[in-house]
Amino acid sequence: MRNTNINKILHSSALAAAIASPAAADTVTLRIQTHYAPETVSGRLAAQFVDDVETMSGGAIDIEMFYSSSVVATVEPFDAAANGILDCGMTGGAYQTGKNPAFQFVGDIMGGHDTSYQQLSWLYYGGGLEAAQALYNEHGMQLIGWWIYGQESLSSSKPLNGPQDLQDWKFRSPPVSRPRSSRRSGPRPS
């Protein structure tokens, strides 16, 4: 594995030590880029994630968050982290399917789960983390975990002026987070 700052942190257990005893550790600064814009719901959730990590670490971990394409292009944080330009990339693994198609299953796995709990259960209890680590490790990277983000945008190549414009309209959508019993019957949108 390449010696990026995050790899040094993970291998030396400095991150765990910083969380366990922040007074005993020096401040660690992580430079992370996400593909979200700061004004989006997901961008605001990323900012809250930064605040939460800094608070829970007692100030031992400082995160410098870069949004959208502020350091590298939206699809490049993985390579930037692998090459030491950034410490972490906070983007979906699906951007790396050109390296290995299996990255799709550590990214946007629409249709693979009905709730976020199922997605996290697959990662932590269904062997997903071990499979993902093998993919990441091939490129000198380490998967730290999934961040389940907020709303997804819905964009269209034609104007949508109301519900009538959705008649016979096909789109790709993330699964809804409600029990199957409360879902409408019939085919799922494609």
Q: Judge contact between 117 and 125, C-beta under 8 A.
A: no
Instruction: For residue 93, tell me if it sits in a domain.
Output: yes
Which one-letter amino acid corresponds to residue 186?
Answer: G
Asked, for residue 157, whether it belongs to a domain, the answer is no
Please list the alpha-helical segments (H only) found in the chain.
5-12, 14-20, 41-56, 77-82, 116-125, 128-137
d(CA 187, CA 184): 9
Q: Which two tokens stand for residue 16?
A: 């765990």
In a domain, 68, yes or no: yes
d(CA 107, CA 119): 10
**Ramachandran area for residue 183 (φ above 0: left; ψ -120 to 50: alpha; else beta):** beta
Residue 181 covered by a domain = no
Give a yes or no: residue 12 inside a domain.
yes
With a threshold of 0.95, does the pTM exceed it? no
Query: From first to last of its 190 residues, what are the pLDDT tens digits of the chain?
Result: 444 444 443 333 334 434 444 454 589 999 999 999 999 888 999 999 999 999 999 999 999 999 999 999 999 999 999 999 999 999 888 889 899 988 888 876 666 677 778 888 988 999 999 999 999 999 999 998 887 765 556 677 888 888 888 888 777 655 444 444 444 444 444 4
Q: What pLDDT is stored for residue 15 in this prediction?
A: 41
Position 59 scores a pLDDT of: 94
Domain of 100, in residue numbers? 5-150
The domain spanning residue 36 has which CATH number?
3.40.190.170
Helix (H), strand (E) at residue 28: strand 28-34
In a domain, 57, yes or no: yes
Nearest to 78 by CA among 105, 98, 51: 98
Q: What is the gyration radius of the CA atoms in the chain, in angstroms?
A: 19
**Based on the structure, what is the number of domains in the chain?**
1
Is the residue at 163 inside a domain? no
C-beta of residue 135 within 8 angstroms of C-beta of residue 102? yes
Report if residue 159 sits inside a domain.
Answer: no
